[in-house]
Amino acid sequence: MDTRPVGVFDSGMGGLTVLHECLVTMPHEDFVYLGDAARLPYGPRALEEIKGFAREIAGYLEAQGVKLILVACNAATSAALPELQSELTVPVVGVITPEAHAAVQATRNRRIGVLATQATVSAGRYESLLRTLDAGVEVQQIACPALVPLIESDDPYGAPTVDAVREYAKPLQAANVDTVILGCTHYPLIRPIFQRVFGRNVTLVFSAEETAREVAETLARKGIENDASREGRYRFLSTGDPEPFRLVGARFLQLPIDEVAHVALADLKAAA
């Protein structure tokens, strides 16, 4: 039995959709989640800058005594996963590889679309992974800069969000994709809008379940699981204002968030 928590981080609250699946898949494990709200959003930033942020946060979480780190952010996974895996002493899992596997298995016509932030599209990791898994697959990636602010707004299901999804969907529909990767952890919150726009003939892939399964399998393979008979706990940290995180975060997590502790950016930089 290893009682250390699993560390999870994201640029803000989107990663809470992944944490939700982890809590369901591993109810006996403890989790600590860090949202870098002070530097949100990551999507428009340069990949090297995002890599620096990810190294700071991962170093901080490792210093807090976590036993595994889950990068629950597509942009940070794209920018920094190989470096984090080589630099840290604990296992590091990202969110992109499970989604690529799921998309290749789901597609029928081998035409896959990716909707993501600009940073994730620029990194090209989805296309690289998809072509590694199936060299004949056709991949079209679309950057969606308007979606994260809309999803975190007071009205994520309003007309502006629907209009934005329709606009971003057009090139994928024209390319006749039959599978679309929702390549940002925010996007599942408006999954009904995506499904309405694309229709039932298009498979939407957001592999929070596969990611949670990979975390569970990694813990088992390393022999660092917690006692399966216990009930796990979870706590939250934010570099931004804790109260908005607590209120809006519950919508993403679909579970209560009682308290959020503040972490200074200086503390993260010191841990890098």
Confirm if 9 and 59 have CB atoms less than 8 A apart. no
Burial class (CB in 10 A: 0-12, 13-18, 19+), 141: buried
Residues 6+ apart with CB under 8 A from 229: 28
Query: What are 115-172's pLDDT values in tens digits?
Result: 999 999 999 999 999 999 999 999 999 999 999 999 988 899 999 999 999 999 999 9
Residue 152, pLDDT score: 85
Confirm if 113 and 83 have CB atoms less than 8 A apart. no
Residues 6+ apart with CB under 8 A from 258: 246
Question: Across residues 169-186, what is the average pLDDT?
Answer: 97
Quote the CA–CA distance of 261 and 243 in Å, as a whole number.
Answer: 9
Residue 271, pLDDT score: 84
| Segments in 88-190 forming alpha helices (H) | 96-106, 118-123, 125-133, 147-151, 159-174
In this predicted structure, the answer to whether residue 52 has a pLDDT above a threshold of 90 is yes
In this predicted structure, the answer to whether residue 45 has a pLDDT above a threshold of 80 is yes
Residue 207, pLDDT score: 76
Q: Determine phi and psi for 43, rounding to 5 degrees.
A: -50, -45
Confirm if 257 and 250 have CB atoms less than 8 A apart. yes
Residue 210, pLDDT score: 86
Residues 6+ apart with CB under 8 A from 32: 5, 6, 7, 8, 61, 64, 66, 234, 235, 236, 237
Could you confirm whether 184 is annotated as catalytic? yes
Query: What are 63-92's pLDDT values in tens digits?
Result: 999 999 999 999 999 999 999 999 999 999
Residue 154, pLDDT score: 87
Tokens in use for 201? 């003939």
CA-closest candidate to residue 137, choices 173, 94, 188, 175? 175
- Helix, strand, coil percentages (3-state) for the chain, rounded to 5, are 50, 15, 35
Segment holding 10, helix H or strand E: strand 6-10
- Three-state DSSP at 142 gives strand
**Catalytic residue (choose from 184, 193, 197, 219):** 184
Query: What are 88-109's pLDDT values in tens digits?
Result: 999 999 999 999 999 999 999 9
Tokens in use for 206? 């957001």
**Catalytic residue (choose from 34, 37, 73, 189):** 73
Could you confirm whether 144 is annotated as catalytic? no
Query: What are 4-29's pLDDT values in tens digits?
Result: 999 999 999 999 999 999 999 999 99
Query: What are 220-243's pLDDT values in tens digits?
Result: 999 999 999 999 999 999 999 999
